[in-house]
Structure 1
């Protein structure tokens, strides 16, 4: 899959494309249906498929403190899009210049001049351009003039409700991992590199890997049984994700993972942490002894879950 950062890098790319536009946060089952249709239309027209995404996501640009927790960082999103068979991703910097483009300017600069779009897949509630003035009807009219077709993406429902990133965030926040898995089409995971931490876990006899989140807020909170991909193998353990109220906290979310029966050095390694069952909420303990007792109980619960 080819990644193009910014419209200026599209000038040397030949031919047209079949495209879709969106945040694609989580690349969930609804997104997967859009991408399946995108591949079909690209094959019919013998053109590359292209997904247009924004970085940061628009709500993160307008109100970073109130923006919802991300399901996927950019790197994770790109890996998931590649796994869906996307040929090209155009990642546009969402900044003041892009925000001020009118709907007509966006169509001309991005879709016509930038991508040479022949067919566009978007949701019928899609809005774009300055003050969100552009909509599905606007795209249909522009397509007639510019020579591209526009099709409304198929809505996917699970248990009678539309699949959405918002619904998945709520399921994760509620600790309903099975529900989140049905909506995502896979178990929820977070990937990051292991950084040096405070090493409190080591002092308590429970060394943990401090996995870099690169998020303002995490989509889930608490203590979980997890599996971790490491050196092509899957290991199991326990993870705490939250603000660590029992120790010196900086108020930011942290992901700490303990691998059961593992003694190797994980610093600098990139781990994929998959969440399976919530054991409890994160809580503040009155003493380190109380914290250590809770950690030991968590390990016992994880061993029972994994039948170790």
Structure 2
């Protein structure tokens, strides 16, 4: 799998390329259908699949005070797109200059000219080009003019819910993790690096890894049953998000305790998958009372993870 950063700098020639494009934030069930359809089409004609995604999110450049909250980091996005079988990922750097490229120029000069697309597969809500002037209908018209096949993938439902990145964001923001999992096809997962904390967890028998998370939607404050990925292996655990009211902290933190784990995790990259919300954050009269509650939380988390 090849990762490139600039469409306009691509020099190589691809074999019978099938191109798909979108923000793909979350790589939810709908995105997965689009990506796998593109992969299947490419394989049928002995070609390669190219997925174009954008970083940062266009809203961060065009409307920074109202930027869209991202479901996941670019690294996570690339890993999940690659897992669908895509051969080439172009993580196009989105800036003011790129935003001025018209929809027609984007398709004619870059997608078909630079990449040599023979077929384009996109979702029904696709938008591209300056002022988001490009859509599925524009793509169909340009495809017909350029003799490039265009396939528009219809909306995807997860149960009774229309799958979209916006729906995933709403579910995470409101703490509806089961719905988020249904839309994503997996638990919502954040990634970050372990930083120094106050070591209070260790002092009461529950050492935690404090995560610095830069690009991901963090669920509401509370205690969660989680799975933690470290060096490719998943471990059961529990996580707390919030301000540690027992200790009157003023900074929001994300702390994960991995069951039966003794290694130092400082500066390590971890992924935390949220399986179930156990309770809201509470203030306890003493650290001992907090430790007793954590014992109960651990038991509840083990039970929840055993059923998941």
Report the Cα offset of residue 28 of structure 1.
Answer: 1.3
Gaps of 5+ in 2: none
**Structure 2 residue matching 1:175: 3-state secondary structure:** coil
CA RMSD of aligned residues (A): 2.5
TM-score (norm 2): 0.87
Is 1:155 aligned to residue 155 of structure 2?
Answer: yes
Report the Cα offset of residue 142 of structure 1.
Answer: 1.4
Q: 2:90 aligns to what? A: 90
1:1-308 matches, within 5 Å, as 1-215=1-215, 217-231=217-231, 233-242=233-242, 244=244, 247-250=248-251, 254-283=253-282, 291-292=290-291, 294-305=293-304
Matched residues in 1 for 2:50 and 2:231: separation?
A: 32
Matched residues in 2 for 1:216 and 1:71: separation?
A: 5
**Structure 2 residue matching 1:117: 3-state secondary structure:** coil
Gaps of 5+ in 1: none
Report the Cα offset of residue 208 of structure 1.
Answer: 0.8
Q: Tell me whether 125-134 or 280-289 shows the greater mean CA deviation.
A: 280-289
Structure 1 stretches of 4+ with a deviation exceeding 6 A read none
Matched residues in 1 for 2:147 and 2:60: separation?
A: 33
Contact 2:124 2:155 in 1 (8 A): no
Matched residues in 2 for 1:216 and 1:269: separation?
A: 17
Report the Cα offset of residue 201 of structure 1.
Answer: 2.6
Report the Cα offset of residue 214 of structure 1.
Answer: 1.2
Number of residue pairs matched by the alignment: 305
Report the Cα offset of residue 306 of structure 1.
Answer: 5.3
Report the Cα offset of residue 100 of structure 1.
Answer: 1.2
Q: Name the CA shift for 1:306/1:131 in 2 (closer, same or farther; >3 Å).
A: closer
**Structure 1 residue matching 2:237: 3-state secondary structure:** strand
